[in-house]
Amino acid sequence: MGNLRQTRRSFLIQSGIIFSTLASPFPFSTIAKPNYMKDEKYFDVIIIGGSYAGLSAAMALGRAMRDVLVIDSGLPCNRQTPHSHNFITQDGEKPHEIAQKAKSQVLKYDTVEFHNGLAISSTKTDSGFIITTETGESFKAKKLLFATGVKDIMPSIDGFSECWGISVIHCPYCHGYEVRNEKTGILANGDFAFHYAQLINNWTKDLTIFTNGEAKFSPEQLDKITKNNIAIIEKEIDHLNHKDGKVRQIVFKDKSAFDLTAIYSRPKFEQHCKIPEALGCEMTEQGHIKVDMLQKTNIDNVFACGDSTSLMRSVSNAVSTGNLAGAMINNVMTGEEF
């Protein structure tokens, strides 16, 4: 713990967080800003992705007097879920209303601009980057921040995508309370299904695992699953019966069916935006953009935050890493300019 404290303290000092709280009266207007001319669309930072992570970073940067452009294609991963939970002050709000409120607060800063569009490529120049959009506009900036999230890949089970985020859910912390004690399925296999079973057993005792094919558990795992009265069904799934995304039944290929009202599943995902990889950003084994403690990638002047960088998928984590990325980019720039 002592070591942890030490590390965290030296990290904060090194990254300028402690220093920045000793707000100096030094006038920002005397800092030269070479070439950052808005009419030529030369921004300090371009943030690609204008959802929770991107907007959070934009607020930190906008308030730090940075000229920021946020480019967003309007497809956050939680767009189908009716209510978002477990983010303090916004619990139970509609996802797009949280984002809308964030956007209106961020755009009060005249340092921040928002562009609706899809960024499709990036070119590295001597002084930074040029980002090009699908509709042919290009924008220049010194630094790039990817807050582009991930795309969940829906399995080929009819009804799954319609129920996604409504009654087929990925995270008990986000939606488990709302379906507590309900008749619930886990659509997964092996270690992941075992982990899910351990976790979700805390929210409901009416649990069944659906492996959609041969079950793959160790004898120890099987022992524990049985001890906790959780059945395993290996039958292949044909489709989900649902009404407006509310699941009613899993229907198997043999035409039999199982009644239930909630399913946990974590589909595969891919990066929503391919530009970081094209720029040479290193990826983790799980498929996230690799960042250090300052949200910096291995490519100079390129940062990333939110779901694109983290296993911990939550609005609060997206906001937190976005806020950190914003502060760290500003910290780097103040160092360069001083």
Ligand X SMILES: Cc1cc2nc3c(=O)[nH]c(=O)nc-3n(C[C@H](O)[C@H](O)[C@H](O)COP(=O)(O)OP(=O)(O)OC[C@H]3O[C@@H](n4cnc5c(N)ncnc54)[C@H](O)[C@@H]3O)c2cc1C
Binding site for ligand X (CB under 6 A): 48-54, 71-78, 81, 84-87, 118-119, 147-149, 152, 164-165, 170, 174-175, 272-273, 306-307, 313-316, 318
Q: How far is CA 176 from CA 32, 200, 262, 312, in A?
A: 52, 8, 9, 16
Nearest-approach distance from CB 138 to ligand X, in angstroms:
13
Q: CA–CA separation, 325 vs 294, rounded Å?
A: 6
Beta carbon nearer to ligand X, 159 or 217: 159
Beta carbon nearer to ligand X, 225 or 325: 325
Beta carbon nearer to ligand X, 180 or 235: 180
Nearest-approach distance from CB 121 to ligand X, in angstroms:
9
Nearest-approach distance from CB 77 to ligand X, in angstroms:
4
Q: CA–CA separation, 263 vs 157, rounded Å?
A: 13
Beta carbon nearer to ligand X, 189 or 321: 321
Nearest-approach distance from CB 96 to ligand X, in angstroms:
10
Beta carbon nearer to ligand X, 221 or 297: 297
Beta carbon nearer to ligand X, 159 or 165: 165
Residue nearest ligand X by beta-carbon distance = 306
Tell me 1's DSSP state. -
Nearest-approach distance from CB 70 to ligand X, in angstroms:
9
Q: What is the 3-state secondary structure (H, E, C) of 97-110?
A: HHHHHHHHHHCCCC
Q: CA–CA separation, 248 vs 196, rounded Å?
A: 21
Q: What is the CA radius of gyration of the chain?
A: 23
The conformational region for residue 259 under phi > 0 = left, psi -120 to 50 = alpha, else beta, is: beta
Nearest-approach distance from CB 106 to ligand X, in angstroms:
13
CA nearest 154: which of 86, 211, 80? 80
Beta carbon nearer to ligand X, 147 or 251: 147
User: What DSSP letter does each residue of 69-101 carry, written as one string?
Assistant: EEEE-S--TTTT-S-B-SSTT-TTB-HHHHHHH
Tell me 327's DSSP state. H
Which two structure tokens, joined as six digits, stand for 201? 């057993």
Beta carbon nearer to ligand X, 73 or 221: 73
3-state secondary structure of 127: coil
Nearest-approach distance from CB 55 to ligand X, in angstroms:
8
Q: What is the dihedral of CA 85, 90, 96, 100, to 10 degrees?
A: -160
Q: Which H or E run includes 4? A: helix 2-15
Nearest-approach distance from CB 230 to ligand X, in angstroms:
24
